[in-house]
Amino acid sequence: MIEILKDRKKQVFQKGAETGDRGIVCEKASLAGSVSQRACVFCGSRVVLYPIADALHLVHGPVGCAAYTWDIRGSLSSGPELHRLSFSTDLREKEVIFGGEKKLYAALTELIKAYAPKAAFVYATCIIGLIGDDVQAVCKKVQAEQGIPVIPVHSEGFRGTKKDGYKAACEALFRLVVEGGGQPGFPLSINILGDFNLAGETWMIKEYYRQMGIKVVSCITGDGRVDEIRESSRAGLNVVQCSGSMTQLAKMMEETYGLPFKRVSYFGIEDTAEALYSVARHFDDLQVMRKTEELVRSEVNRIYPEVQHYRKALEGKKAAIYVGGSFKAFSLVKALRHLGIQTAIVGSQTGNPEDYEYLKEICDAGTIIVDDTNPLELSRFMMEKDVDLLIGGVKERPIAYKMGAAFCDHNHERKTALAGFEGMLNFCREVYASIMSPVWQFSPARQRRATMEQTFSEEITKAMFST
Amino acid sequence: MLLRHTPETITDRSALTINPAKTCQPVGAMYAALGIHNCLPHSHGSQGCCAYHRSALTRHYKDPIMATTSSFTEGASVFGGQANLVESINNIFTIYSPDIIAVNTTCLSEVIGDDLPQIINKARADGKIPPGKTVIHANTPSFKGSHVTGFANMTSAMVQYLSERSGKKIPQINIIPGYVEPSDMAEMKRISLEMGIKSVLFPDTSGVVNSPLDGKFHMYPKGGATMEAIKSAGDSTFTLALGRTASLPAAKLLDTKCKVPFECLDLPIGLSATDTFVDCLRKTAGVSVPESLMVERGQVVDVLTDMHQYFFGKKVALIGDPDHLVSLAQFLTDMDMEVLYVVTGTPAGPKFVRRIRELTGEKTIVKEGLGVDMFQFHQLIKNAKPDLLFGNTYVKHIARDEDIPLIRMGFPIYDRVGHQYFPITGYRGALRLLEKILEAILDRQDRDAPEESFELVM
C-alpha cells in the first residue's frame, strides 16, 4: 500500500493484508489542514429536509449557505415546488453586530404571507450560533401569529459533522410527527423514510408498495408533505432507507409510539427484493406475501436479461467507491458484483465501526477500506489498484476523469433514478456507458495501461516459452 | 415552471433575499488563490464552507479543485482558531507540500476575531512554515461584499504579501485581469504578447482550473502566476487594472506599496472596451498595434456590420457581476440594442449605477447591492419582457418560465461548457459573444417566423 500520513493510518484498512483483527478507526474529526471531502452540520440538515416541498426553507445567516444549496438536489415534487426556491436572511455586518432576530422575524412574516406554506424550517448557520440569536423565540412568536409550525433547525456548521445535521433534521421532523400523534393506526401501512425522491425514486418505491397492497402514509422526506408527516405516527411500520440520516427519527418514533422500524436498501436486485420481502414478512399477511413474490419475480425476470448483457462486457472490471453514507456502499458492492465488477477500494465520509466491519465482511481480500479519505490518497489508491470506475459525488468526478477512470454519480444531486429494479437497470446502463465509452482510448492513462498490459503479457509469454 | 409563483407587482423587501444573485466572499478568494502557481487555498472555518466552495468551483470548471480547511469544531469556535490554523499549516506543508498557502477567512473565523497575521507569525516562529515557503491571507467575511469582493481581497493579499520594490524598474506591465474565466486570462496574456509586451498577469487561473487531461491527478496543475512574477510586479512600469470592483483595490495597493502607477479600465468585453484596453497597452508600453490584432478587430467590425439589422431595438436584461455588466452593457448599446435592466447582487455603489447610465442612457433600470436578487430580476422581466437575457445558470429558470433565450455568462455556469476554453474578452471574445447573441436571436426568429417569411439567407 502507498504511504499514508501517520495520523490517518488507522483510518485505512486492507482486507487480508493486516495481521491481527484490528478495527478501522472512524467517526473522527478530519485532520485540520486536510482536503476533506466532508461537509458540515448545516449541509446535513439541509439535504435531509430539503425535499419537503410544501414547507418554507429559510436559511438564517450570510448568503453563501443559501446560495450553495440552491436547487442543486434533484428531489422531485408531484405538487408544490416551494422547496426549490432559495430563501436567505442574507445577514450583513450590522446584524452580525446587533443581532439578526428582527430581520429573521420580518423575513418569516413576509414569506409566510407571500407563499402560505404548510410549515417553515429555519436553519441556523454557523454565525447564528456565535452571535446568539434566539431563533427558538422568534420561531415561537411567528408560529403563534401565523398559525403554522415554525421550526428552528440547529444546524450551526461547526457543531459537528453532517451526521449531527441529520440529527438536527430528525429533531425538527419529530416536532411535526408529534403534532398529529396518538391517533389510531392504519392497517398494513408504512412510512418511507430516507428516500429523497432523486429523479422520482420515491414514486417508483411507492408503486411497489401499492402493488403489494400496502398503504404508504408518508414519505419522509422525498416528495414530502407536511400534513403527511403529521399523520406518520399512525403507520404500522417505518421503513428506513438512508439509515445515516433517518434512523434517529425512526428510533424516536419507536420510543414514543411503539412504532417498529426496519432498515432497508432499494439499491440493487438483492437488496430491493429483500427490502420488499422484509416489509411483507413484518405484516405476516398471506395476501401481501403472495403479491410481493409476484412483484419481485416479474421484475427480476424483466430486468435480468439486460443485466446479463451488461455483465458480459463488464466482467473483471475493478471499481472504487467513495460515498457519503456507508449504507450506500454496502449495496453498491453487491450491485457491482452482479455486473461482475470487483470493488477494489471502498470508503465513506461518515461510516461507524459496525459499518466498516460489515464492509470488511462483504468485500474480497485485498480491498482497501477507507474512512474520510482525501483526493490525494484516493487518487493514489486508484492508481495502485488500477480501477476502471469510480463511484462518488461531485468533487470526485473530475478526479476520476483526469485519471482515465469511468464515473458514476451516486450522490444526492444525480438526475438518474438508481433505486429499485428499474434503478438497477439505470445503474447498469450508466456504468456500462461510462466504462465502455470509446473516449477512454484518448486518455493517456489508459494508453499507458494498455502499453503496460502488453509488456506484461509479453513477459508472461516469454516466461511460458523459455522453459 | 419552477418560478411560476413570482408576482409581477414589485413590493419593497428589506428583510430577505430570494434566489441570490451573488454568493459569498470566500469562494471568490479561493478562485483567486488558485491563480497562483503551486498554491493551496485554505479555508479558515467549518468544513462545510470549504466543501461548498470546492463543489461550486468543481461544478463550474469540471476540474478537480483542491483546497484545505481548518475543520472548526465547537472548541475552536469558543477558544479561537489559532490552534487549528497552526496545525493546518503544519499538516498542509507536510502532506501536500505547496509552495504557498493562501488562507481565506469565513464568517465564523471573522466573528470570533481570529488575528490572521498574528497566527501566521506564530506558525513561522514555531517552525511550521518550511524555509522558502509562504503563507498569505485575506479577510473575507461572508456577511460583507460578495464573491467578487472576495476575489478582490485575495488579489490584494498577493500584492500585500508578495510584491516587492527593488528600486530597479523592469520593462514589464502588470495586468490585473479581474474576476474572469481562465480563458479570458489567457486571452489577455496573448494580446499583450501579440503586441510584444512583457506582462505579469495575476491572478492567473489558466492552466489550473482548465487543465488538460494527461492521465494523472495533479494537486498543482502547471498554470498559475508564479510567486517570483507577483514579486516582480512591484518593479513593473505600469499596472492595468481591469474592472473596478475586482481589480482596483490591488492596483491601488501596488501603487501605495511599490509606487507602480496604474490605470483602471473596464473589462475588455466587447469592441469599445477592448479598443480601450489595447490602446492603453499601446500607450504605456510605447508600441504600435500589430497587424494581427488589427485583423482580429476588423473581423469583429465586419460581422457587426454584416448583421447589424438584427440587433436594432432588441431589448435585453442583464444580471451578473458589476465589472462584466459595465462592459457588456456598452457592447450591447454599441450594437443598437436596448438595455432594459442591469442587475447585480454585489454591492457596487452609486458609481456603478452612474457608469451604466452613462453608457446606456437614463431609461435603463439599474439595481445593485442589498436585497437585490434573482426574484427581483424576474419581477422586472415580467413587467417589460426583453428579447434576450444574460446571466448565470440559475437564470435558466426564468428563461424557461418566460420563454426568453438566455446567454450564459458569469458565475456559476453549471450546465454548459466552453467558458473555460473560449474567452469573451478581447476581439476574439467579442466575436464569440457576437456569435452567441446572433445564434440566440436568429434561432428565435427562425422558430417564430411564419412560413412566408422563413428565410434561408440572413
What is the C-alpha separation between A41 and B47, in angstroms, rounded? 9
pLDDT tens digits for range B295-314: 999 999 999 999 999 999 99
Considering only the beta carbons, identify the residue of A29, A66, A110 that sits closest to B71: A29
pLDDT tens digits for range B63-81: 999 999 999 988 888 888 9
**Cα A354 vs. chain centroid, distance in angstroms?**
18
- Least Cα separation, residue B28 to chain A (angstroms): 11
Strands (E), A126-214: 150-154, 189-193
Q: What is the mean pLDDT of residues A341-369?
A: 91
The answer to whether the Cβ–Cβ distance between B88 and A33 falls below 8 Å is yes
Radius of gyration of chain A (CA): 24
Quote the pLDDT of residue B370.
Answer: 83
Q: What is the mean pLDDT of residues A68-92?
A: 92
Which chain A residues are within 8 Å of B211, Cβ to Cβ? 402
Residue of A nearest to B61 (CA): A398
Quote the pLDDT of residue A388.
Answer: 96
Quote the pLDDT of residue B432.
Answer: 98
Residue of A nearest to B63 (CA): A398
Q: What is the mean pLDDT of residues A260-289?
A: 96
Quote the pLDDT of residue B11.
Answer: 75
Look at residue A456 and tell me whether its pLDDT is greater than 70.
no
Residues 274-293 of A with CB under 8 A from B: none
Considering only the beta carbons, identify the residue of B55, B65, B143 that sits closest to A93: B143
Q: What is the mean pLDDT of residues A338-351?
A: 92
Quote the pLDDT of residue A1.
Answer: 45
Considering only the beta carbons, identify the residue of B2, B24, B74 that sits closest to A62: B24
C-alpha cell at B165: 520594490
Quote the pLDDT of residue A445.
Answer: 81
Query: What pairing do the DSSP bridges indicate for beta strands A189-193 and A342-348?
Result: unpaired
Q: What is the mean pLDDT of residues A240-266?
A: 93
User: Which residues have CB under 8 Å from A443's CB, separation 6+?
Assistant: A404, B213, B215
Considering only the beta carbons, identify the residue of B5, B76, B216 that sits closest to A445: B216
pLDDT tens digits for range A401-430: 999 999 999 887 788 899 999 999 999 999
What is the C-alpha separation between A106 and A425, in angstroms, rounded? 49
Which chain B residues are within 8 Å of A40, Cβ to Cβ? 46-49, 51
pLDDT tens digits for range B229-243: 999 999 999 999 999
| Full-model pTM | 0.95
Provide the residue type at A140 as one letter.
K
Q: How confident is the model at residue A4 (pLDDT cuts 50, 70, 90)?
A: low
b/e string for B217-227 if b means 16 or more Cβ within 10 A?
bebbbebbbbb
The answer to whether the Cβ–Cβ distance between B216 and A375 falls below 8 Å is no
Catalytic residue among B111, B295, B301, B417: B111
What is the C-alpha separation between B328 and B343, in angstroms, rounded? 12
Residues 356-385 of A with CB under 8 A from B: 375-376, 379
Which chain A residues are within 8 Å of B370, Cβ to Cβ? 90, 92
Strands (E), B45-189: 68-69, 100-105, 134-138, 170-176
**How far, CA to CA in Å, does B355 sit from each of A68, B273, B316, B380?**
30, 13, 18, 21
Burial degree of A305 (CB within 10 A; 0-12, 13-18, 19+): exposed
User: Which residues have CB under 8 Å from A115's CB, separation 6+?
Assistant: A56, A82, B5
**Cα A209 vs. chain centroid, distance in angstroms?**
21
Nearest to A57 by CA among A130, A1, A107: A107
CA distance between the termini of chain A = 33
The answer to whether the Cβ–Cβ distance between A89 and B15 falls below 8 Å is yes
The answer to whether the Cβ–Cβ distance between B51 and A37 falls below 8 Å is yes
C-alpha cell at A466: 523459455
The answer to whether the Cβ–Cβ distance between B20 and A31 falls below 8 Å is no
What is the C-alpha separation between B44 and B105, in angstroms, rounded? 5
DSSP annotation of A24: P
Quote the pLDDT of residue A24.
Answer: 82
Which of A137-151, A216-230, B4-18 has the least mean pLDDT? B4-18
- Least Cα separation, residue A162 to chain B (angstroms): 9
Radius of gyration of chain B (CA): 23
Look at residue A460 and tell me whether its pLDDT is greater than 70.
no
- Supply the mean pLDDT for chain A: 90
The answer to whether the Cβ–Cβ distance between B51 and A36 falls below 8 Å is yes
- Supply the mean pLDDT for chain B: 95
Residue of B nearest to A449 (CA): B215
DSSP annotation of A132: T
Q: What is the mean pLDDT of residues A244-254?
A: 93
What is the C-alpha separation between A259 and A239, in angstroms, rounded? 11
| Sequence-separated contacts (24+) of A272-279 with Cβ below 8 Å | A272/A419, A272/A420, A272/A421, A272/A423, A272/A424, A273/A300, A275/A239, A276/A208, A276/A212, A279/A190, A279/A209, A279/A212, A279/A214, A279/A237, A279/A239
**Cα A435 vs. chain centroid, distance in angstroms?**
23
Quote the pLDDT of residue A467.
Answer: 37
What is the C-alpha separation between A131 and B265, in angstroms, rounded? 40
What is the C-alpha separation between A274 and A278, in angstroms, rounded? 6
- Least Cα separation, residue A223 to chain B (angstroms): 15
Residues 40-79 of A with CB under 8 A from B: 40-43, 58, 61-71
pLDDT tens digits for range A114-143: 999 999 999 999 999 999 999 999 999 999
Considering only the beta carbons, identify the residue of B20, B42, B88 that sits closest to A86: B20
Q: What is the mean pLDDT of residues B364-376?
A: 92
pLDDT > 90 fraction of chain A, expressed in percent and rounded = 73
Which chain A residues are within 8 Å of B6, Cβ to Cβ? none
B413 touches chain A (CB under 8 A): no
Residue of B nearest to A444 (CA): B215
C-alpha cell at B372: 437585490
- Is B107 a catalytic site residue? yes
User: Which residues have CB under 8 Å from A427's CB, separation 6+?
Assistant: A267, A268, A335, A408, A418
**How far, CA to CA in Å, does A336 sit from each of A318, A342, A424?**
9, 7, 10
What is the C-alpha separation between A345 and A364, in angstroms, rounded? 10
Which of A27-36, B119-128, B192-201, B212-221 has the least mean pLDDT? A27-36
Q: How confident is the model at residue A72 (pLDDT cuts 50, 70, 90)?
A: confident
- Least Cα separation, residue A405 to chain B (angstroms): 9
ipTM: 0.94
Neighbours of B10 (CB within 10 A): 12
A394 touches chain B (CB under 8 A): yes
pLDDT tens digits for range A179-212: 988 788 899 999 999 999 999 999 999 999 999 9
Look at residue A215 and tell me whether its pLDDT is greater than 90.
yes
Nearest to A90 by CA among B373, B322, B238, B414: B373
pLDDT tens digits for range B243-255: 999 999 999 999 9
Q: Which of A35, A58, A381 to probe by mutation at the B interface, max B CB count within 10 Å? A: A35
Residues 107-146 of B with CB under 8 A from A: 107-108, 111-112, 141-144, 146
What is the C-alpha separation between B372 and B248, in angstroms, rounded? 23
Biggest distance spanned by C-alpha atoms of chain A: 91
Contact A420, A205 (CB under 8 A): yes
Biggest distance spanned by C-alpha atoms of chain B: 80
Strands (E), B122-267: 134-138, 170-176, 199-201, 236-242, 262-265
Residue A181 phi, psi dihedral angles, 5° rounding? -70, 165
Nearest to B150 by CA among B349, B356, B353, B321: B321
Alpha helix segments (H runs only) across A197-315: 201-212, 226-231, 243-257, 269-283, 286-314
Q: What is the mean pLDDT of residues B351-372?
A: 94
The answer to whether the Cβ–Cβ distance between B51 and A65 falls below 8 Å is no
Catalytic residue among B107, B148, B180, B260: B107
DSSP annotation of B310: G
User: Which residues have CB under 8 Å from A206's CB, separation 6+?
Assistant: A192, A216, A219
Considering only the beta carbons, identify the residue of A81, A127, A446 that sits closest to B143: A127
- Least Cα separation, residue A389 to chain B (angstroms): 14
- Is B264 a catalytic site residue? no
pLDDT tens digits for range B425-452: 999 999 999 999 999 999 999 999 999 9
- Least Cα separation, residue A91 to chain B (angstroms): 6
Considering only the beta carbons, identify the residue of B5, B76, B91 that sits closest to A31: B91
The answer to whether the Cβ–Cβ distance between B50 and A36 falls below 8 Å is yes
Query: What pairing do the DSSP bridges indicate for beta strands A368-371 and A12-14?
Result: antiparallel
pLDDT tens digits for range B209-228: 999 998 888 999 999 999 99
What is the C-alpha separation between B399 and B387, in angstroms, rounded? 10
Q: At what angle do helices A135-146 and A101-115 cross, to 10 degrees?
A: 30
Quote the pLDDT of residue A466.
Answer: 44
Question: DSSP for A414-455?
Answer: --S--SHHHHHHHHHHHHHHHHT-GGGGG-HHHHHHHHHHHH
